[in-house]
C-alpha cells in the first residue's frame, strides 16, 4: 500500500537539532515522476512549505530556514530525511512529509499522517 | 518569494449552499495552483491541482477556476463532510507557498 510515514524524536531541546525521517512504502523513492518534501504547521496556524528534494538530489528550501535546514534522500532505505539545527520554540509544529507529483503540476498528492515535534527544555 | 493571498479567512454556510474561496498570487504562476482540504487533527488532502483538475476520488461538487493571478475554489451543495479548512498553494516555483487558509464552518 502506497504510504508515507514520519518518524523521529517528538521532543527537542532549544538550540538542538530536529531530525525526522519519512519512509516511503509501495513505490520507489527513485521514481523520477516524484519529488519529496516537508511541510509543517505550527499550532493553530497555516501550513508552511519548508523544503523539497528532487530526483536529481538537488534541493529547495524555505528562505527563512535556509541556513539551518538539510533534506536528503537515502535510496537504499527508501527514505528521505529532514534536519533542522539550532531549533527554537518557533519550530514547534506538526511536521508532514509529502510527495510532489510532476504529473499533477508538482502538487503534493500524498501526505504522511504528520508528527508533532515540540521544542522545549 | 511568491505571496498567496487567500480570502476569506473564515466562512459560515449551511448544508446545500454554494461557497467560493479566492486565492490571489503576487505574480504569474500560470495554472500551478493547488487546493487542499484539512480536517482537524488530519493531514491535508489534495482536492484540485493545475487550478481546475480534480484529484482522483474528489466529488464533482468541488471545482476550481483561474483568471490571471486570481484563483477560485467553488463547492456546490455543501455536505457535512465539507466543513474543514481549505488552503491554496502555488507549485510554480520554490518556495512553494501556501495561502493562510479558509475555515469553513456550519452556520
Q: Collapsing DSSP states into helix, strand and coil, what is residue B81?
A: helix
Contacts of B94 in chain A (CB under 8 A): 52, 60-61
Banded pLDDT at A52 (limits 50, 70, 90): very high
Banded pLDDT at B22 (limits 50, 70, 90): very high
Contacts of B46 in chain A (CB under 8 A): 104, 107-109
Minimum mean pLDDT among A51-60, B24-33, B52-61: which range?
A51-60
Nearest to B95 among A63, A106, A108 (CB): A63
Looking at per-residue confidence, does A92 or A1 come out higher? A92
Average confidence score pLDDT of chain A: 96
A4 Cα to chain B: minimum distance (Å):
11
In eight-state DSSP terms, residue B53 is E
Q: B87 touching A, CB under 8 A?
A: yes
Give the span between the Cα atoms of A110 and A101, in whole angstroms: 9
Whole-number pLDDT of residue A108:
96
- Is pLDDT at B94 greater than 90 in this prediction? yes
Q: How many Cα atoms are found within 13 Å in the side-chain-facing hemisphere of B97?
A: 17
Percent of chain A beyond pLDDT 90?
A: 94
Residues in contact with B39: Cβ distance below 8 Å, sequence separation at least 6, in sequence order: B84, B85
Q: DSSP per residue over chain A, as a string? A: --EEEEES-SEE-TTS-EEEEEEEESS-TT-TTEEEEEEEE-TTS--EEEEEE-TTS-EEE-GGGTTTEEEEEETTTTEEEEEE-S--GGG-EEEEEEEEEGGGTTEEEEE---EEEEE--
Q: What is the largest CA-CA distance in chain B?
A: 38
Pairing of strands A79-84, A18-25: antiparallel
Digit-coded pLDDT (tens) for B33-85: 999 999 999 999 999 999 999 999 999 999 999 999 999 999 999 999 999 99
B88 Cα to chain A: minimum distance (Å):
10
Digit-coded pLDDT (tens) for A23-44: 999 999 999 999 999 999 999 9
Whole-number pLDDT of residue A113:
98
- Is pLDDT at A1 greater than 90 in this prediction? no
- Is pLDDT at B97 greater than 90 in this prediction? yes
Q: B86 touching A, CB under 8 A?
A: no
Banded pLDDT at A118 (limits 50, 70, 90): very high
- How many beta carbons lie within 10 A of that of residue A27, not counting itself? 15
Amino acid at each position: 500500500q502506497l504510504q508515507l510515514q514520519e518518524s523521529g524524536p517528538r521532543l527537542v531541546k532549544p538550540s538542538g537539532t530536529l531530525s525526522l525521517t519519512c519512509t516511503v512504502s509501495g513505490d520507489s523513492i527513485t521514481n523520477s515522476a516524484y519529488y519529496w518534501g516537508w511541510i509543517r504547521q505550527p499550532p493553530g496556524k497555516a501550513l508552511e512549505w519548508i523544503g523539497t528534494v528532487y530526483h536529481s538530489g538537488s534541493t529547495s528550501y524555505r528562505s527563512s530556514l535556509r541556513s539551518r535546514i538539510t533534506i536528503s534522500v537515502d535510496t537504499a532505505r527508501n527514505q528521505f530525511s529532514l534536519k533542522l539545527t539550532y531549533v527554537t520554540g518557533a519550530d514547534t509544529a506538526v511536521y508532514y512529509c509529502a510527495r510532489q507529483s510532476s504529473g499533477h503540476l508538482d502538487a503534493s498528492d500524498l501526505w504522511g499522517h504528520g508528527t508533532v515535534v515540540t521544542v522545549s527544555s | 518569494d511568491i505571496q498567496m493571498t487567500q480570502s476569506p479567512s473564515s466562512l459560515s454556510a449551511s448544508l446545500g449552499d454554494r461557497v467560493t474561496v479566492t486565492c490571489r498570487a503576487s505574480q504569474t504562476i500560470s495554472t500551478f495552483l493547488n487546493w487542499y482540504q484539512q480536517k482537524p487533527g488530519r493531514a491535508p488532502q489534495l482536492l484540485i491541482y493545475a487550478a481546475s483538475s480534480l484529484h482522483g476520488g474528489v466529488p464533482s461538487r468541488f471545482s476550481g477556476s483561474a483568471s490571471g493571478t486570481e484563483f477560485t475554489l467553488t463547492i456546490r451543495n455543501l455536505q457535512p463532510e465539507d466543513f474543514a479548512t481549505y488552503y491554496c498553494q502555488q507549485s510554480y516555483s520554490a518556495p512553494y507557498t501556501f495561502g493562510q487558509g479558509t475555515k469553513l464552518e456550519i452556520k
